Amino acid sequence: MRIVRFAHPAGMSFGVLDGDGQVAQIEGHPFGQISFTGQRYAAADVRLLSPILPSKVVGIGKNYADHVTEMATGDAPEEPLIFLKPSTSVIGPGDAIRIPAGSTNVHHEVELAVVIGARGARSVSPEQAMASVFGYTIGNDVSERDMQKSDGQWTRAKGFDSFCPLGPWIETDLAGLGKDPADLEITCRVDGELRQSGRTSRLLFGLPTLISHISQVMTLLPGDVILTGTPSGVGPIAPGQRVECSIESLGSLTNSVAGADPTSTAGVTR
């Protein structure tokens, strides 16, 4: 099942995207028993948003050996290296990644994103962990490399508004498609040029280990997102470019790149 969040003339809703390009509107949220309103929209007539607005996004650093090598910042970690991205960094398909004023070294990072389900996860074992998964989507862990290097920790470098594109949908039944999240092709293209190409089978720490490890530290709530790491090939992006992140059976997440947004507001609705 492909779960989407979309904007329509009456507001914002969750829905199920079918193979005919129709979105069936859901009552409320998609966790638990799904009920439909009976309203259907052509996908071409609605705007897809990020499929979820998580309470937190948990990132995993240095989780592909080839990426560890290209970053040249030390050996691979002995246990999962976790960090947080704020929920305000989340944007959806078609939204613009905004380059901070003065930054010239912002990189793309395509990643498999795990979405936590209604059960949540707290102190679960690796054997229990996958029962907490709702589904999977595509993430782009956009990162400002100069700040990442100078700060000594990653909050600022990875926390800017727009630095976490997610989408286009949450796939809840990869097994039904004959696919295994532990072995999916993952790619990133910038203006059509292939930059990153890998498979999730090359993760240093697999999904059960990641979920269990994080849940020993913090409770994972329904809708929380885990970014599982990026393969090698990360590189700079600049205003005017187009970034396309793709994962086998999860579609493609495409975002433009733009300059900093100078607007100052007291709050924003996403």
Determine the pLDDT at residue 265.
78
Contacts of 212 (CB under 8 A, 6+ apart): 124, 125, 126, 128, 129
Percent of the chain with pLDDT over 90: 89
The model's pLDDT over 184-210, given as tens digits with 9 standing for 90+, comes to 999 999 999 999 999 999 999 999 999
Query: Quick check: is 268 in a domain?
Result: no
Report whether pLDDT(161) > 90.
yes
Range 77-91 average pLDDT: 96
The Cα 228–Cα 209 span in angstroms is 11
Question: What pLDDT sits at residue 67?
Answer: 81
Residues 182 and 215 in one domain: yes
Domain that holds residue 247: 57-258
Looking at residue 9, what is its pLDDT? 86
Question: By percentage, how much of the chain surpasses pLDDT 70?
Answer: 98
Judge whether residue 215 has pLDDT over 70.
Answer: yes
Q: pLDDT for 19-66, tens place per residue?
A: 899 999 999 999 989 999 999 999 999 999 999 999 999 999 999 988
pLDDT of 181 above 60: yes
Asked if residue 64 is part of any domain, the answer here is yes
Same domain, 42 and 127: no
CA dist list (Å): 257 to 43, 128, 191: 24, 39, 11
Mean pLDDT of 156-175: 98
| Residue 171 belongs to a domain | yes
Q: Is residue 264 part of a domain?
A: no
Q: What's the CATH code of the domain at 8?
A: 2.30.30.370
**What average pLDDT does the segment 9-25 reach?**
94
Q: What is the pLDDT of residue 10?
A: 85
pLDDT at residue 222 above 90? Answer: yes
**Residues 67 and 231 sit within 8 Å (Cβ to Cβ):** yes
Give the model's pLDDT for residue 65: 87
CATH number assigned to the domain comprising residue 179: 3.90.850.10
Beta-bridge partners for 174 = none
Tell me: pLDDT of 264 over 90: no
How far apart, in whole angstroms, are the C-alpha atoms of residue 179 and residue 189? 23
Which residue has 């997610």 as its token pair? 166
For residue 93, list its beta bridge partners: none
What pLDDT does 270 receive? 56
pLDDT at 269 (0 to 100)? 56
- How many independent structural domains does the chain possess? 2
| Cα separation, 49 vs 256, whole angstroms | 15
pLDDT tens-digit readout, 108-134: 999 999 999 999 999 999 999 999 999
Q: 151 pLDDT exceeds 80?
A: yes
